[in-house]
Amino acid sequence: MAIADTLRFAPPHPAARPFLVAGAVLFLLGLLISHWLAWLAFVFILLCLFFFRDPDRVPPPRRDAMLAPADGRVLEVALARPPAELGLGDTARWRVATFLSIFDVHVNRIPVHGTVTRIAYRHGGFLNAANPEAGDRNERNAIAIRLADGREIAVVQIAGMIARRIVCSVREGDAVGAGERFGIIRFGSRTDLYLPEGGEPLVTEGQTMIGGETVVALLGTGAAG
């Protein structure tokens, strides 16, 4: 978690709007009915502002830099096959799994310049996102992005034990840039990043990631275009 993001106010992500509206309604009702309800609604609004905070990030200027898609702690750096629903083949590639606690910024960011080629949503369970089996068994939204050199990467939004809503704002065919926002996972989750074939990770397990800023791998100038 980026400490600076915790200590300073950042505007909330649009996904916070229904929660903030509900909190405001309860607050107004509390003023008329019970001050205890008003205080509870006020605390709820503050918690929503904290959880849905959406700070600006400054991606590094290198176009060949592959960036972290989320804030959080690296759970695992290991070889794994990408989600079958993306059609990226059975060859194992490096996967960097990041766990987002309820204290982390939950806005997801595009890791590299490219084009979205496929988005596949799959229903599943709600294991603790830190569970090694969560990537295979939990509800998830997988996104494939093609680089300029034709290689593809995958980013997977995975729901956690508390999370019950995955939001994705990009569509197949969209041209995307490194560091751009593309979605959010509500209330604790995990984000997996699959490097392109031949890519080598520069991060390690236990490392703290800053979405849109931490460099996960360098892809070479051919990949950036």
Q: Which residues are catalytic?
A: 189
Q: Which of 168, 151, 160, 199 shows the shortest CA–CA distance to 69?
A: 168
Taking the C-alpha atoms of residue 103 and residue 93, their distance in angstroms, rounded to an integer, is 30
Q: Rounded to an integer, what distance in angstroms lies between the CA atom of residue 189 and that of residue 37?
A: 30
The whole-angstrom separation of Cα 69 and Cα 108 is: 5
- Give Cα separations from 124 to 53, 69, 97, 139, 158 (angstroms): 27, 22, 18, 4, 10
